[in-house]
Amino acid sequence: MRAPTFDLTLLRTLVAIADTGSVTAAAKRLAYTQSTVSMQLQRLEAQLTVSLHEREGRRLRFTPEGERLLAHARKLLALNDDAWSDMQARQITGDLTLGIPEDYASLLPSVFAYFHQLYPAVGLTVQCGTSAHLVEQVKASALDLALVTRQRHSPGGDVIRREPLVWAVGVHQQPSMSDPIPLALYTPGADVFREVAEQALQAAGRDWRVAYTSQSMAGLAPIVTAGLAVVVVTRSMLTPMLRPLDESSGLPALPMIELALHRAPHRPSEPARRLGELIREQLAASSEAL
């Protein structure tokens, strides 16, 4: 005799009721009428010949049998959704190019790993460069996507994260905070951090000198950790060897910067669209922890 089969639509309604706490809220989530949700719950109870719920005022509470079925329902729906995602993902093929400043690459390793897991047939190429250069590359359709620091003179892009800038020094050693302040700065044109630092010091009436320059934090870090200069970074760029300075340092407060996702002017490919969604989700989630 063939074993009965659960209707996943009914199970999805059951989970929606559990997640939202009421038939009314579940109906809104599923875009059903309240009567449809109630009817589907009744169908499940009729099929199993058990009571799955009881009323507590306006709220609905599951019986022990309802709780048991709910646990099974979540597992079955997760398997179903994973199977659909897997079968759809493996149909996506093509090549994809992403531009990103070297200092932001550390934000995305989990995104790259997950993207490859979901879309193994997509060839992803990552190109590092300055934000200004990468924006021009995207505009010229030489890149599909670019995650960059939003430029003051050329804003554009879709802002997906805002981060505070901070002054940082070596965790064990730091330079004197008297004028002129020794700074480790990005090469002119490499990013907006240099411009922001100089404008903040000028507005505060402080004097500074350029002690070291580089196009990336990898080049600036050695002189900063040695205690020879102060650097401007985002909080996500802080390493165990760097310590942020607070207002007691006498240095002026720094503004927020924006990370923006730029897309090539042509219609985005399916791989580009999906990678963009993953980047947005990852950066939005991680920014909440800052």
Give residue-wise pLDDT tens across range 68-98. 999 999 999 989 888 887 776 667 889 999 9
CA torsion through residues 30, 34, 40, 42, sign: positive
59 exposure class (CB count in 10 Å sphere: 0-12, 13-18, 19+): exposed
CA torsion through residues 251, 253, 255, 256, sign: positive
Residue 3 CB neighbours (<10 A): 4
Structure letter (DSSP) for residue 176: -
> pLDDT tens digits for 165-186?
999 999 999 999 999 999 999 8
Average pLDDT score, the chain? 87
Q: Which residues contact 251 (CB under 8 A, 6 or more apart)?
A: 167, 177, 181, 200, 201, 204, 206, 230, 245
**Span 265-274, mean pLDDT?**
87
CA–CA dist 191, 260 (Å, integer)? 13
pLDDT number for residue 286: 58
CA–CA dist 290, 271 (Å, integer)? 29
Percent of the chain with pLDDT over 90: 44
pLDDT number for residue 23: 86
> pLDDT tens digits for 197-228?
999 999 999 999 999 998 888 889 999 999 99
pLDDT number for residue 32: 86
Pair 91, 79: CB distance under 8 Å: no
Residue 169 Cα to chain centre, angstroms: 27
pLDDT number for residue 289: 45
pLDDT number for residue 90: 65
Residue 24 CB neighbours (<10 A): 13
CA–CA dist 262, 91 (Å, integer)? 25
CA–CA dist 80, 87 (Å, integer)? 11
Pair 183, 210: CB distance under 8 Å: yes
**Span 3-27, mean pLDDT?**
87
CA torsion through residues 93, 99, 104, 106, sign: positive
Strand partners, 212: 184
Q: Are strands 230-234 and 122-128 parallel, antiparallel or unpaired?
A: unpaired
**Span 45-55, mean pLDDT?**
89
CA–CA dist 49, 32 (Å, integer)? 24
Whether the predicted pLDDT of 284 surpasses 80: no
CA–CA dist 176, 174 (Å, integer)? 7
31 exposure class (CB count in 10 Å sphere: 0-12, 13-18, 19+): exposed
Residue 98 CB neighbours (<10 A): 25
Supply the Cα-derived Rg of the chain in whole angstroms: 27
pLDDT number for residue 27: 84
pLDDT number for residue 172: 93
Residue 37 CB neighbours (<10 A): 23
pTM: 0.65
